[in-house]
Structure 1
């Protein structure tokens, strides 16, 4: 299951194609896309992304009026209201007893059926714990987000998970009538929730999460925040994260945060790391190649212009500014290399 708005069509096509490319041809895959207004053209492009895979079925669904009314007037902050769709999956897909929910800003490198088959140990969901939360606990400065959630039921913040990759036991969620509790958390504690859907899931299902292997929700923060993390994470699913990065052995790469590789280029390390992954996958997505190539041309021109500007001004920079511009030039060269590799 995915939940998207129209602007996410490009990245979702890449995600779908990467999913299909690694799907077992001897199994059947049913993909549900919950949306709030995809156009006929959007839907056609997404269908093209899976057209070469007859064992993959694509379905589209809008939020039923009853569920939309439940979410009406709720403050979703910087998130789309469709972020709540994962909370309502048991109602949205009443004929299914288990699903895998994925955010659209992911690229898949292994058979997603491995997630579907995960042993949840009798828990209602499986997820990968949140590395930024773990990093803040290791540093001795728990995030404000955690301090807000503790009185709401998050007694052990080390169990806090990221909701971008979920295995949901819908039958158990229905049996426990969990959806009203999830909506109640959003209704009563909205101002205290930094990530409304994710925080609500963490509160309601706290200590009832089956940890998934970190390879199934890998993102740039594992590398950027690695100082002291690996030693502290010994014996957990985070052990060996540097090896995963060095060998590119992740099974799903998740481009969390606001620096998306298909948006305006950014002169940041996190943007570069996601770019190296996403553009390679994007250029292998047949349905979007013309659009992606135009976007790649635009980004390449922007990067070359930025590089020339900084190289021209380098001799006239001194001290701290000189070092900052040198660093920016190195990053721009790496970014240009990533775009040129994408073009190839």
Structure 2
């Protein structure tokens, strides 16, 4: 892989502050790496883009924001029903410059607590992307999702993905996404994940969620599944990404999970950075 790690985010203005916390946590564990942050968005204000640029520049990294034009969605009349950021993630190969060959996509509700270099260098073996599943102890949801989406593989979480952009440019197109949305509209619970799994699940390399996409709600589930191995000490040494799936989010008052204090500590340190 090239020496520069390329990170992709796709958010609206409501997630600017969580994004800053996520990026700060990334910086804490990658002070010596060259990192480029790509932001694909629809209508974040110039002022807020400037604040992001200021922070990322302070990290010593590079930053580029791509603002999408409305006519990008002319072929997707059902887009009003779903976040446009969903399309930005799925179609990033067609949006980012052709010289960009690989990105790590990260949701903003994430903490990075160890190095992502092994993830950046993962061998995709010809697959479109790498992602993790959140199966839990019993793995009941896999069968449900297979029936719901007419699939025969694990259900992958789209919050952390290593994407081969040349493969994405070859395989992913807006027409297929539109047809899937129209066909499965009443069955789509998490639209971007559902579309990703239905269309591209066979082109995904599975990576361990306990390291690369740890569901912060499910500490006891991980502990049970590992027969006590994945305790807090193991997690802080081995897990690279904590993902605050579901609600409430750790920056909200009602959040009181095992990892809320850790998140708030990073947020507090960012304020004093």
* TM-score computed with the length of structure 1 as normaliser: 0.68
Q: Find the partner of 1:190 among 157, 171, 185.
A: 185
Gaps of at least 5 residues in structure 2 are 1-7
Superposed displacement of residue 34, structure 1: 1.5
1:69 pairs with 2:58? no
Q: Find the partner of 2:65 among 60, 71, 75.
A: 60
Cα gap change, 1:84 to 1:135, in 2 (>3 Å): farther
**What are the equivalent positions in structure 2 for 1:325-340 lying under 5 Å apart?**
none
Q: Find the partner of 1:101 among 88, 94, 105.
A: 105
The CA distance in 1 between the partners of 2:245 and 2:172, in whole Å, is: 30
Q: Find the partner of 1:219 among 193, 199, 215.
A: 215
- Paired residue for 1:19? 26
Cα gap change, 1:183 to 1:28, in 2 (>3 Å): farther
Q: Find the partner of 1:125 among 125, 129, 132.
A: 129
For residues 50-104 of structure 1, what are the alpha-carbon distances to aligned partners after superposition, in whole Å with 9 as ceiling and x for unaligned?
Answer: 23322x1111112233323334443546xx3212211111111132221111101
When the two chains are superposed, the root-mean-square deviation of aligned CA atoms in Å is 2.7
Superposed displacement of residue 197, structure 1: 0.8
Superposed displacement of residue 112, structure 1: 2.9
Q: Find the partner of 1:45 among 36, 45, 51.
A: 51
1:88 pairs with 2:73? no
Q: Which has the higher contact order (CA 8 A, sep 6+)?
A: 2
Superposed displacement of residue 191, structure 1: 1.6
Partner of 1:260: helix, strand, or coil?
coil
For residues 310-332 of structure 1, what are the alpha-carbon distances to aligned partners after superposition, in whole Å with 9 as ceiling and x for unaligned?
Answer: xxxxxxxxxxxxxxxxxxxxxxx
The CA distance in 1 between the partners of 2:176 and 2:115, in whole Å, is: 33
Gaps of at least 5 residues in structure 1 are 232-238, 291-344
Q: Any conservation in 1 of the 2:90–2:172 contact (CA below 8 Å)?
A: no
- Paired residue for 1:163? 158
Superposed displacement of residue 38, structure 1: 1.8
Q: Which has the higher helix share?
A: 1
For residues 212-235 of structure 1, what are the alpha-carbon distances to aligned partners after superposition, in whole Å with 9 as ceiling and x for unaligned?
Answer: 23211112233143485346xxxx
> Larger C-alpha radius of gyration, 1 or 2?
1
**How many corresponding residue pairs?**
263
Cα gap change, 1:104 to 1:70, in 2 (>3 Å): farther
- Paired residue for 1:8? 15
The CA distance in 2 between the partners of 1:279 and 1:145, in whole Å, is: 34
The CA distance in 1 between the partners of 2:217 and 2:103, in whole Å, is: 26
